[in-house]
Copies of this chain bind each other. A is one copy, B any other.
Amino acid sequence: MLIVQKFGGTSVGDAARIKNVARRVVTKQREGHQMVVVVSAMGHTTDELIDLSRQLTDNPSPREMDMLLSTGEQVSIALLAMAIKNLGAEVISLTGPQAGIKTDNIYSKARITDIVVTRMRAELDAGKILVVAGFQGLNEFNDITTLGRGGSDTTAVALAAALKADLCEIFTDVDGVYTTDPRLVPQASKLDYITYDEMLELAHLGAAVLHPRAVECAKLYGIPLHVRCSFNDNPGTIVKEENEMEKNLVITGVTYTKNVAKLGIFGVPDQPGIAYLIFKMLADRNISVDMIVQSSMRDGINDISFTVAQDDLRKSLETIEEIIKVVGAQGYTHDGDVAMVSVVGAGMNSNPGVAAMMFGALADEDINIDMISTSDIKISCIVKNQFAEKAVQILHNKFELENIG
């Protein structure tokens, strides 16, 4: 088999852990597999480099930031390759550019456009373990780019797709994907299987063991992912297309995002293009909008509500003042102290009553719901920040998630 393994920053945080990863990789190779290992920067390296840059400028050039941050992974691959070689295996480290990873030109959040596998194939054919720097690539100007948050996960999945790997293992510091945050709900269960779509909803919503971009890429190319712990040999969670058995699971997880801000614009003229205009103005100011809810109940005018990160509230309010002038709305409201709580499950769309169960469970505890948004496999509610944890606990209990997996 050709196996791609990805180890995060915690897994290569010091010399002892790097040796541990080396042993794991070499053991797997000696079972007869071809191995490609993707690593992140060691522990807090990236944060330390960012701190250094902040001492020099408040507004670093994104190109120079990528030049700076890409060194973190380069250190990791060199050290891991040394540790693997020390165990007697043939190995070569490759930076993102050397591995043939091509990206677009958007520094600090580049997207992979192509992977030229020539060199990787040649090194694999020569019997070597490949240790590839995650999070980085090369753009058309021959400049180093980084892939932004979750970039190393994306590198691993993209390499698995380009090399037609049989399996992609994502090693992390937790045992797998849980039905909710185990620190919050001790009864949370580890899931043995989860579909790409469920994983996407969970990852987007805060159960951040695997970056959504990586899941999207895995779904696109049909790469099965195995999310597991780098400190033990326990099986983790397999992420793949749904099969019959999983259909029986109505809800696979409860997740939440705290510190959200809710904004509402009321009395918006009901004309084509108005929503576009509003969210274009927000996007132009680099404000990421999460949930959007619009309801038309009166003739000719609409109310539009949406959520943003609490940190973006001030910028959002300034933008809304402009929006109101441009689109001719009547006014706006905001609440900067709310949270989003969601239940996720691929089975819910064939199972009526999930929404009612959710709303009822919250009502039983006197938790008021400010906004509701649903998709095929997710129902999200906005509640006051202070009730977020409690809401997760009662929903996890209500949907009996403590014994699934």
Contact = CB atoms under 8 A, between A and B. Distances in A.
A327 to B, nearest CB: 38
A71 B74 contact: yes
B71 A75 contact: yes
A257 to B, nearest CB: 32
A68 interface: yes
A198 to B, nearest CB: 39
Classify the secondary structure of A's interface with B. Answer: helix
A203 interface: no
Interface in A78-95: 78-79, 81-83, 85-86, 92-93, 95
Q: How large is the interface on A (under 10, 10 to 19, 20 to 34, 35 or more residues)?
A: 35 or more
A79 B64 CA distance: 8
A142 interface: yes
Q: Which 8 A-B pairs have the closest CB atoms?
A: A15-B55, A68-B78, A71-B71, A67-B78, A57-B86, A56-B83, A64-B81, A64-B78
Interface of A: 15, 18-19, 49, 52-53, 55-57, 59-61, 63-65, 67-68, 70-71, 74-75, 77-79, 81-83, 85-86, 92-93, 95, 98, 119, 142-144
16 contacts: A19-B56, A53-B78, A56-B82, A56-B83, A57-B82, A57-B83, A60-B82, A60-B85, A64-B93, A65-B78, A67-B74, A67-B77, A67-B78, A68-B75, A71-B78, A98-B142
